[in-house]
Structure 1
Amino acid sequence: MATFAKPENALKRAEELINVGQKQDALQALHDLITSKRYRAWQKTHEKIMFKYIELCVDMRRGRFAKDGLIQYRIICQQVNVNSLEEVIKHFMDLSTKKAELARSQAQALEEALDVDDLEADKRPEDLMLSYVSGEKGKDRSDRELVTPWFKFLWETYRTVLEILRNNSKLMALYADTAHRAFQFCKQYKRTTEFRRLCEIIRNHLANLNKYRDQRDRPDLTAPESLHFYLDTRFEQLKVATELELWQEAFRSVEDIYGLTSMVKKMPKSSLMAVYYAKLTEIFWISSSHLYHAYAWFKLFQLQKSFNKNLNQKDLQLIASSVLLAALSAPPYDHLKSASHLELEHDKERNLRMYNLIGFNIDVKLETREALCRSSLLADLVSKGVMTYVTQEVKDLYHLLENEFLPLDLASKVQPLLAKIAKLGGKLSSASSVPEVQLSQYIPALEKVATLRLLQQVSQVYQTMKVETLSRMVPFFDFPSVERISVDAVKHNFIAMKVDHMKGAIIFGDLGFESDILQDHLSVLAVNLNKSRSMIYPSQTKASKLSAMLPSLADIVDKEHKKLLARKSIIEKRKEEQERHLLEMEREEETKRLKLQKKTEEAEQKRLATEFEERKHQRILREIEEREREEAQALLNDVGKRIKKKGKKPIIEGEKVTKQTLMELALQEQVRERQEMEKKMQKLIKTMDHFERAKREEAAPLIEAAFQSRLAEEKLLHEREQQLEVELSRERHDGDLKEKYRLARVIEHKMEFQERVVNRRQAAYNRMRTEREERLSQIMKARKEEREIKRKMLYYVKTEEERLNRLREEEEARKREEAERRKKEEAERRAKLDEIAERQRKREQELEERERLRKEAILRGTPIDGPTRPSEHPAAAAAPAAAAAAAPAAAAAASGSAGGKYVPKFRRSGPAEPAAASPAASVQSDRWGSGKVADDRGAPPSDKWRPSFGGNSGAAKSWSSSRFSR
């Protein structure tokens, strides 16, 4: 493999290798040269070397090598010479395109040569099998091998260039040009798979650009030039997607355009928006969304009327006719009238999304299902004056379908109008962005709408009808098609009908409850009678309308003037709201800055508080350890005193008894005392049981005798009270009989008096009832008015309360989240403090263990529980001397402790030898040989388990509680 030591020899040596047929070696050498650090220092021959390198990559179809070289060259030229990088990339694309075009011109059957589903896929298995089986290659296979690899390389070239230029703000024009060339490549050769991938690549580039917008040399979308390039690329993508009939990708392109305009909050030019709405009409028509198609046509009509100054009357009439026919083609019933709540919510979100794409500003709080409907669109068309531009045939069709009531002649009158409308259409000469308008595409949908209107009107007039009669009335479809249309209408509650195929009849009307039918029969009858009178006497109706209109002409002018004044006030309010919105935005920015400053100060305060808490925690840990040492020492002293009071044998006998032995004996003494106490309690319990049993045996006969005497007394009392009640009842019965005989003589007079009183009161009652009904009717009328006013006020108050409650709940939710976050931070801080304290304690234990081992090695000269030997220890030379000095101290301590009185070790050494006795007194070994280090006062280590001694020792209790609280 050749290498180049000097830049001036690079091109010459590469040409020599190419001339002798070693293109691979020349390419590899140039690749090594470009990717090396030396190449970055050469400034004069960069472009020439890159041109030669690109030519070799294209000749040998080495896309990976070309990509690596261009990436390195971009690093060099990014800040120094961007124009050179642009020239190299253009040369790369031109060479790839020329090679692909040359291969295509050499192939004789282009369609078969390009019959590949995926340009990025490898060879198919059947091709490999055929190449091994057959010795000769057919013409189709040779074409495939000639053309397909070059088209693969060209597609890889486009992808490489887009990847290199995606984040360069200085080469945005080249990036847009490359994307356009890639779109034209997909369009020219019908490459649908590659087009989808290309759209996804460009979409990901924009997403990454928004994600990392703060990096250096990134394009600024707010700049007009960058926004123009990005929007131009998306509109070209939309055009190619519709021409390739990739409608799903076209809809995603529309969403990309809307997302880009929402991101920068700036609308494109009117010419681009005309293309946008024109493509939307095609997409919605293909997806059978007739209502959205009509809304898109309406926006396109408004745009052309407002911004296209060259629009002639004929083209405007054709566009207006398309708008009205598109609105009439939408089904006249609501698809979600019988839908579930989930479907309603889904349709609400879908309508809101479509409203945003079409360009209508809608309030999210409103019910979008009601706002986005066919009736509201037709009302907008009438109010915006679209009806004044449509042709006469379309206008007549609108009146027949929406205003007329002709159940028998509707289809016969609609059919000739549809035949005339089908001949209208053509290319618009004054609106190049609008596609060719052909009104014949709306004929099938209009025939379906006319059939639905006919069924609706027939169902209001007839209850039953023969199938043959209905078939003759509908010339557009046969009866199975009419039945299919009616099933969908019945499903959505547009009409109520049933087909009886056995009788050959159609039954109209709701077959449910009779009350539903009679609910509004009077109003329907009044409307129908009014229409009949207007049809019988049309002249009187017109005259009455004119006479009714002329007196109110002044009122109409006054109303129009008030509307204009209201519109002016609305415009002023909108201006004020916009200014207020700007002020609020400035206030929010200032609030954000203050919040950021406050967060910084709070973070600094938290750090200082954390350091203070950490120092405080360490101090508390040290105090707890000192307190535990003091309590342990006091506990040992107390145990020694208790044992001496009982007159037992002294525990400490020379140096054989350690502190651990003392603690073990104290624990045994505690267990023995507890066992004696339990025996005493068992004996006392047994004595109390015998005493209680004896008391109950003596009291049982006395209780039984008292119960029997009480039972006899209660029986006598019950008999006496029962006899007294019988006598009283007899006396009351005799008195009642006497009273009855006395009053029986005046019963006739009583009936006459009762009749007179009843008649007089009945008359008074009737009079009062009549007055009450009149008064109640007046009160009910007044209350009804008051209730209506109160209902309106309650609705307003309820709406306001809901809004305030919603704001209050959001504020409370935010406060709860803030409190939970603070609690979580506090818990994490405490856990971290505990972890630091635990590590500190372990570190101190390790240091104490090392210090103990060192001192033992110095004093005894022998290793203890470790690999350290006396000869290896740093203080090994001083060990014999220390042991000799410690021997007299140990003897003195032994002689001092033989007197029978307990003396702590730190007091046994005399004042003449403190240096020798201090290490020996501070290093001791417990009974099990753990080798824990004691403190200055002889207390056991703070991290060793200690038993809690019973009795009345308060020191033991306090020591145990402090230990567990730690």
Structure 2
Amino acid sequence: MAPSSKPETVLKQAEGLVSLCVNMRKGRTAKEGLMQYKNIAQNASVASIEVVIKRFVQLADQKVQEAQEKADKVSAGAVKGTLEDVDDLEATETPESILLGAVSEDQSKDRTDRALVTPWLKFLWESYRTALETLKNNARLEAIYQQIAQQAFKFCLKHSRKVEFRRLCETIRLHLSTIAKYAHQPHAINLSDPDTLQRHLDTRFAQLSAAVELELWQEAFRSVEDVHNLLTMAKKAPRPSMMAGYYEKLTKIFLMSGNALYHAAAWNRFYAIVRSNPSAHPVKPADEEELSKLAGIVLVSALAVPLHADQNSVDPASSGRVSRLTALLGLSKTPTRAGLLASALASTMPTPLLKLVPAPVQALYDLLETSFDPLELCSSAAPVLKELEEIQEGIYQPYVAQLCDAILGRLLGQLGQVYDSINLSQVHELVAAIQVEGAGHVKVEGFIVAAAKRGEIPVQIDHATGVLYFTAGLFTSSSSDGASTSANTLDDAVQPSSADIVQTRLSTLATVLSTSLSVLFPPPPPTTQLASLLEAVEAERKSLAIKRALIVRRRELHLELTARQEKEEQGRKKAEASRKEKDEEAKRAIEEARKREIERARREVENIKKEEARQLAQNLSKRGNLKVDIDNMENLNTDSLMKLQVEQLEKEKRETSERLRIISKRMDHLRLEGAYRKEERPILAEDHAHQQAEDLAVFQASARSRREAARLAHDADLEIKERLGRMMDDYINTRGVMTGERERLAEEAGKAAEEESRLQEIETAKRKLEEEREQERAEQTC
């Protein structure tokens, strides 16, 4: 492996390239380098890709911080406020902005930040996008991809970048949509993997939180849809804390959109999760105080839902939107005001909800859902609403206006049960207690007209007489105050209306007739009933036996008919096949005759063309325009001969042109060389003399340097000789001692070798003698 292709070498080169690109703000170059490095290292060292990407983003972030510190030193003030004025980091400067900056004398903080901080801020945003594009659609790089995405969300939050946040969400959404496109590739992302899906969910929840903090409600709703789509793909239920955060963000989105029904439904779902698992609260574990506050919000949000919100949601034009919102909340059917209140009151673990809510909320519930006192409803509700507004943290403040509308609707419904008509002035007096000062009577009358237009309250206003008429039709329910959870709501009417009488007439008549029949025709005694039942059973058994016999006979007839039809069908098919075979034989004969005729005509045409081509070739050969063997031209025709002639002419023309060009170039070269030599002839002698002088000077200098070097070397050798001469006696003595020692050791080694050789010979002789004795004994024994 070459040193430059080793992983650690490539990693160092990649880090150096990234650092250089950041210093020079070359975003495109950095993107190309990161793409190439990913292609190189994704199969060998995935961790190194994470290191390079993190290093790239970290360096860009450091540059932004350094630019901010430098801007703070240049001019006082906060950087953040001026950076928010830059609407789009990807937009280039316009000519107007450049001219304005040139003629302006304002050297303010804004101008300093735009010059120092904004370019690096743009580069940091570009680095996030580059990192996401590099890491997308790769299962090995999925973890670092989600990490970079969450860092980008934090960047948008820190610098309040709303435009960039929208683009970031679109980019991540596009990457998710292309997962199926790249599913066939190696290391493709598999959303069926629980860990991968969980990482995507974490990123989408971070995206949702950021959208809510930036108050981008449309983007927040799209993020909710992304989360819901991923949740539908999950094989196991997500963590309760995650779902609690999901529903909490939905409450804010629905509150901003003005959808009170689904806002209350989201609070209901959130409260159900926190009540069953207090540690699932997004901020802190829910204690008794927190549960009380949540219970109050759940009940108040349900009471604030308009009384006829469920009727309005049944509109066919909006059924698709309603089902979509219902699916986002994880509900099987569309929520209703009555259902939300019933669900809230049904939660008794660990404590009933009505015992948890604050006293003003419980009082408001009693006024709207259990009591029937239209003349005192608004006056009793006014102090309760004031108490709700004054509760600490203002958690009920967003619901006050909606509660006023709910109280007004409840008032009109109860008045319709008691009165056929009422003065408008009296209605205004009843409502005055809950009206905002300065609102006047227009709001009340506008509410009445809107409710009548939607068909919620059968009412008419006569401004000439100043009277409000409750005009319930004969086929319209008089219980217009709608969805109440109290059991006695429908029974609170003081007197039945004409609509109630008409609507219940048939049911009353059916009840009376049933009672009369039971009196006129009393049921028979039990014994008679048993006998009649036995007779009916026997008759039924006989009828079943007859039916069974008929079914068996019909099945037999059907089988016979089927067999006869199959036999006829087979004969018909054989005859049809024989007829088709004869027709096909006749067609084949006709077709073969036609083909033979066509082949004969084709051969005649080819022969004519060949003869024409041969004559043309002979004519061209005679004129010398064609160089081809006339006897071997089976594959040539008139057109090919003309093309061949044109190609030969073109080739000869090109060869002639090339020869002329070479001759012209050669003549130009000879003329140029002759001119050069003619011009240089007078100065050759002068140049020769000058060159000789220079060579002599160089030779003399070289000789002097060689002599000086030889002299210095000779002096050094003499000095070494003198220094070594003083050690010669010691050297000779030491060498004599070492030589004597070596000779002694050699003699001892020789003696030892001789002794060992002698011993081996003795041992060999003994062994040989023993073998001879053994052989003699063996011979004597035999």
* TM-score bracket relative to the smaller structure: 0.5 to 0.7
Relative distance call for 1:529 and 1:181 in structure 2 (3 A) is same
- Which residue in 2 is equivalent to 1:476? 434
Is 1:411 aligned with 2:369?
Answer: no
Task: Say which of 40, 45, 54 aligns to 1:81.
Answer: 45
- Tell me, in whole angstroms, the C-alpha distance in 1 between the residues paired with 2:479 and 2:434: 35
| 2:419 is equivalent to residue 462 of structure 1 | yes
From the superposition, tell whether residues 845 and 275 of structure 1 become closer, same or farther in structure 2 (CA, over 3 Å). Answer: farther
- Using the alignment, how far apart are the partners of 1:298 and 1:515 within structure 2? 35
Does the C-alpha gap of structure 1 residues 289 and 617 become closer, same or farther in structure 2, counting only changes over 3 Å? farther
Q: Does 1:361 align with 2:332?
A: yes
Q: Cα offset for 1:299?
A: 0.7
Are the counterparts in 2 of residues 333 and 489 from structure 1 also a CA contact under 8 Å?
no
Task: Please report how far the alpha carbon of residue 77 of structure 1 lies from its aligned counterpart in structure 2 after TM superposition.
Answer: 1.1
Partner of 1:697: none
**What amino acid does structure 2 have at the position aligned with 1:172?**
E
**Alignment of 1:244 onto 2:214:** yes
Q: Give 1:295 deviation, angstroms.
A: 0.7
Q: Specify which of 294, 302, 322 is matched with residue 264 of structure 2.
A: 294
Gaps of 5+ in 2: 280-284, 481-488, 498-581, 635-782
1:624 maps to which of 574, 590, 606: 590
Q: 2:65 aligns with which of 94, 101, 121?
A: 101
Q: Kindly indicate whether the alpha-carbon contact (under 8 Å) linking 1:425 and 1:439 is maintained by their aligned counterparts in 2.
A: no
CA distance 1:621–1:126, change in 2 (3 Å):
farther
Residue in structure 1 matched with residue 531 of structure 2 by the alignment: none
Alignment of 1:372 with 2:343, yes or no, is no
The match for 1:390 is: 357
Whole-Å Cα distance in 1 between the matches of residues 327 and 620 of structure 2? 80
Residue 316 of structure 1 corresponds to 291
Alignment of 1:226-305 (within 5 A): 226-305=196-275
Q: CA deviation at 1:255?
A: 0.5
Q: Which amino acid aligns with 2:21?
A: C
Distance 1:497 1:857, change over 3 A: closer
The aligned counterpart of 2:494 is 528
| 1:440 maps to which of 397, 402, 405 | 397
Between the aligned partners of 2:264 and 2:391, the Cα distance in structure 1 is: 18
The normalised TM-score by structure 1 is 0.49
For 1:207 and 1:116, how far apart are their aligned partners in 2?
31
Aligned to 1:63: 27
Q: CA deviation at 1:464?
A: 3.4
* Separation in 2, partners of 1:396, 1:403: 10
Distance 1:133-1:379 versus aligned 2 partners, 3 A rule:
closer
Q: Give, in whole Å, the separation in 2 of the partners of 1:254 and 1:420.
A: 34
Q: Any idea what SS the aligned residue of 2:467 has?
A: strand
Residues 532-557 of structure 1, C-alpha deviation per residue, up to 9 Å, x if partnerless? xxxxxxxxxxxxxxxxxxxxxxxxxx
- Which residue of structure 2 aligns with residue 581 of structure 1? none
Go from structure 1 to structure 2 and tell me whether the alpha carbon gap of 1:249 and 1:519 turns closer, same or farther (over 3 Å shift).
Answer: closer
Q: What is the CA distance between 1:425 and its match in structure 2?
A: 5.5
Q: 1:268 and 1:517 mapped to 2: Cα distance?
A: 45
Q: Distance in 1 between matches of 2:164 and 2:84?
A: 13
Aligned match of 1:198:
168
Range moving further from structure 2, 168-177 or 408-417: 168-177
Q: Which residue of 1 aligns with 2:520?
A: none
Asked if structure 2 preserves the Cα contact closer than 8 Å seen for 1:497 and 1:506, the reply is: no
Structure 2 contact 479–490 (Cα < 8 Å) conserved: no
In structure 2, what is the Cα distance between the partners aligned to 1:345 and 1:329? 24
8 Å CA contact 2:417–2:493 kept in 1: the answer is: no
Match of 1:420 in 2: 387
Cα distance in 2 for residues equivalent to 1:869 and 1:300? 104
Report what 1:326 is aligned to. Answer: 301
Normalising by the residue count of structure 2, what TM-score does the alignment of the two structures yield?
0.60
Structure 2 contact 451–457 (Cα < 8 Å) conserved: yes
Give, in whole Å, the separation in 2 of the partners of 1:493 and 1:292: 22
SS in 1 for 2:400: helix
Partner of 2:133: 163
The Cα offsets for residues 680-703 of structure 1, whole Å up to 9 and x where unpaired, read as xxxxxxxxxxxxxxxxxxxxxxxx
Count of aligned residue pairs for this structure pair: 519
Report the Cα offset of residue 407 of structure 1.
1.4
CA distance change for structure 1 residues 81 and 516 in 2, over 3 Å: closer, same or farther? closer
Report what 1:218 is aligned to: 188
Tell me how far 1:877 sits from its aligned partner: 9.7
Distance 1:878 1:180 in 2: 77
- In the alignment, the residues of structure 2 paired with residue 144 and residue 508 of structure 1 have an alpha-carbon distance, to the nearest angstrom, of 66
Q: Per the alignment, in what secondary structure is the counterpart of residue 210 of structure 1? A: coil
* CA–CA separation in structure 1 for the residues paired with 2:206 and 2:479: 58
Q: Residues 848 and 401 (structure 1 numbering): CA distance in 2 closer, same or farther, change over 3 Å?
A: farther
CA distance in 1, matches of 2:365, 2:238: 34
Give the C-alpha shift of residue 352 in structure 1: 1.4
| SS across alignment from 1:127 | helix
Shift of 1:217: 1.3
Q: How far does residue 388 in structure 1 lie from its aligned partner after superposition?
A: 5.0
Counterpart amino acid of residue 498 in structure 1: Q
Contact 2:310 2:335 in 1 (8 A): no
Root mean square deviation, CA, Å: 3.9
Change (3 A) 1:517 1:448: closer
Q: Contact 1:857/1:873 (CA < 8 Å) preserved in 2?
A: no
Secondary structure in 1 matching 2:461 = strand
Q: Which residue number corresponds to residue 711 of structure 2?
A: none
Which string of whole-angstrom CA distances, capped at 9 and with x for unpartnered residues, describes residues 787-840 of structure 1? Answer: xxxxxxxxxxxxxxxxxxxxxxxxxxxxxxxxxxxxxxxxxxxxxxxxxxxxxx
Q: Quick one: structure 1 residues 306 and 867, their matched pair in 2 at CA, closer, same or farther if it must change by over 3 Å?
A: farther
Distance 1:518 1:71 in 2: 72
1:867, distance to aligned residue in structure 2 (A): 10
Residue 412 of structure 1 deviates from its aligned partner by: 1.1
- Taking a change above 3 Å as real, the CA distance of residues 398 and 61 of structure 1, as seen in their structure-2 partners, is same
Map Cα deviations across residues 136-194 of structure 1 (whole Å, 9 max, x no partner). Answer: 96654333111110100000000000111112322322212211111111111111000
Q: Which has the higher contact order (CA 8 A, sep 6+)?
A: 1
Once residues 251 and 633 of structure 2 are traced to their aligned partners in structure 1, the CA distance between those partners, rounded to angstroms, is 102
Q: Please give the secondary structure, in 2, of the residue aligned with 1:499.
A: strand
Contact kept in structure 2, 1:274 and 1:304, CA below 8 Å: yes
Letter in 2 for 1:349: G
Partner of 1:46: 10
* SS of residue paired to 1:45: helix
Q: Shift of residue 247 of structure 1?
A: 0.5
Tell me, what secondary structure is at the counterpart of 2:154?
helix
Separation in 2, partners of 1:518, 1:303 = 38
Cα distance, 1:89 vs structure 2? 1.3
Q: Structure 1's 483 and 85: CA in aligned 2 closer, same or farther, altered over 3 A?
A: same
Which sits farther off after the overlay, 221-230 or 376-385? Answer: 376-385
Give the partner amino acid of 1:375. A
Residue in 2 that maps onto 1:347: 318
Q: 2 CA distance for matches of 1:381 and 1:481?
A: 31
1:852 is displaced (CA, Å) by: 4.1
Answer whether contact 2:460 2:469 (CA < 8 A) is retained. Answer: yes
The 5 A counterparts of 1:449-598 are 449-474=406-431, 475-477=433-435, 478-503=440-465, 505-510=466-471, 527-528=493-494
Q: CA, structure 1 residues 498+307, in 2 after alignment: closer, same or farther (shift >3 Å)?
A: same
Find the aligned partners of 1:216 and 1:617 in 2 and give their Cα distance. 58
**Cα distance in structure 1, aligned partners of 2:590 and 2:388:** 99
2:278–2:287 CA contact under 8 A, matched in 1: no
Q: Could you tell me which residue of structure 2 aligns to residue 819 of structure 1?
A: none
Per-residue CA deviation, residues 475-522 of structure 1 (Å, 9 max, x unaligned), is: 12231111121122111222233333344x2322118x67879999xx
Matches within 5 A, 1:15-54: 41-54=5-18
- SS across alignment from 1:528: coil
- Match of 2:179, SS? helix
| Partner residue in 2 for 1:850 | 606
Residue 181 (str. 1) matches residue 151 (str. 2): yes
